[in-house]
């Protein structure tokens, strides 16, 4: 049964990460500010999740116990704050650096799993995780000079889109977003007895309350295609996606969740290629291969021969 749960959870999370990789396209296509995009994402997501929860009969009094509800609400706060911090970081640092910093979340997840849930932190797992990080660096084609600039005296960018507060602040925002996402994941695993639809529903309601003061109702979409983008973001990329993603969180160990998270930048790379005609280099293809290799290794429990020999020696 556990093997079956892992298989279903892996498929669910892989699909959720593929869907996540398309979010950027719909955000850009909607032509809306970040605040409006996230606000309407929560509104439409709440309608979708609420309808599904009502017809599924999963809204039950037992899930409104204060201890359970507080965990879910706290996870909702960290989820929405994660969105805010990540998008805010784009105003201070290049998208490539923000992407790498945000994808420190797999490392945070593995460490959190080892510290909080006593999951094994093996040398083999660390190697596969490191390989996935190498793949990520290749995909975003990170410029080493850009990293050096963050710690130089000239770290403040002269472009109009960057704030005078400095690039280091942007880096901290992206890392904070990764940490907040880790907290959301751990909170979701903590309420494994609650249907993921109910968890996601409460959290998008939390998001509505948090984002309402910042929504700009004077600059709503003027075209039907832009409204369609928001509907897809709310119904598919929030409602459906968080149902399957949260369900997978409750079934999988944090180590596998961490590695499967790397599917997101892989998908985003190909979305950029097909939607915006960006070129994919051989190094980026190599990065995709390394990430898929690492994910497969953890999923199918591949280990190194020297690790097996070490176990035999200890016996």
Cβ 49 vs Cβ 239: under 8 Å: yes
Is there a contact between 98 and 170 (Cβ–Cβ < 8 Å)?
yes
Task: List, for residues 134-190, the tens digit of each pLDDT value.
Answer: 999 899 887 667 666 666 655 544 444 444 446 788 889 989 999 999 999 999 999
pLDDT at 284: 92
pTM of the model: 0.84
Rg (CA), the chain: 20
**Pick the residue with more confidence: 312 or 208?**
208
Percent of the chain with pLDDT over 90: 50
Average pLDDT score, the chain? 86
Q: Are 107 and 129 in contact (CB under 8 A)?
A: yes
Please state the rounded mean pLDDT for residues 277-306: 86
Say how far apart CA 136 and CA 299 lie, in whole Å. Answer: 18
Q: Report d(CA 176, CA 185) in Å as an integer.
A: 14
**Per-residue pLDDT tens digits for 33-63:** 888 999 999 999 999 999 999 998 888 888 8
Instruction: Please give the average per-residue pLDDT across 120-146, as a whole number.
Output: 84
Contact indicator for 263, 21 with CB cutoff of 8 Å: yes
């Amino acid at each position: 049964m556990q093997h079956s749960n892992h298989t279903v959870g892996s498929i669910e999370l892989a699909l959720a990460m593929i869907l996540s990789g398309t979010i950027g396209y719909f955000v850009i296509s909607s032509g809306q500010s970040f605040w409006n995009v996230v606000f309407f994402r929560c509104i439409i997501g709440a309608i979708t999740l609420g309808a599904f929860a009502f017809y599924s009969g999963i809204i039950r009094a037992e899930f409104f116990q204060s201890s359970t509800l507080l965990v879910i609400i706290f996870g909702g706060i960290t989820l929405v704050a994660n969105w805010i911090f990540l998008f805010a970081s784009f105003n201070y640092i290049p998208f490539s650096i923000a992407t790498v910093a945000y994808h420190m979340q797999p490392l945070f997840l593995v460490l959190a799993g080892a510290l909080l849930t006593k999951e094994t932190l093996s040398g083999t797992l660390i190697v596969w995780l490191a390989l996935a990080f190498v793949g990520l660096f290749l995909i975003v084609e990170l410029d080493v000079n850009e990293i050096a600039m963050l710690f130089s005296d000239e770290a403040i960018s002269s472009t109009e889109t960057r704030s005078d507060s400095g690039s280091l602040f942007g880096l901290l925002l992206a890392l904070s977003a990764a940490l907040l996402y880790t907290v959301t994941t751990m909170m979701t695993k903590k309420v494994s007895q609650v249907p993921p639809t109910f968890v996601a529903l409460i959290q998008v309601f939390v998001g509505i309350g948090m984002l309402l003061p910042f929504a700009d109702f004077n600059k709503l979409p003027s075209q039907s295609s832009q409204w369609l983008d928001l509907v897809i973001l709310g119904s598919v990329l929030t409602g459906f996606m968080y149902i399957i993603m949260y369900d997978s969180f409750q079934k999988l160990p944090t180590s596998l969740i961490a590695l499967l998270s790397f599917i997101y930048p892989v998908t985003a790379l190909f979305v950029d290629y097909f939607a915006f005609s960006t070129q994919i280099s051989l190094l980026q293809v190599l990065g995709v291969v390394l990430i898929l290799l690492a994910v497969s290794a953890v999923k199918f429990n591949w280990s190194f021969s020297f690790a097996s020999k070490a176990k035999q020696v200890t016996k």
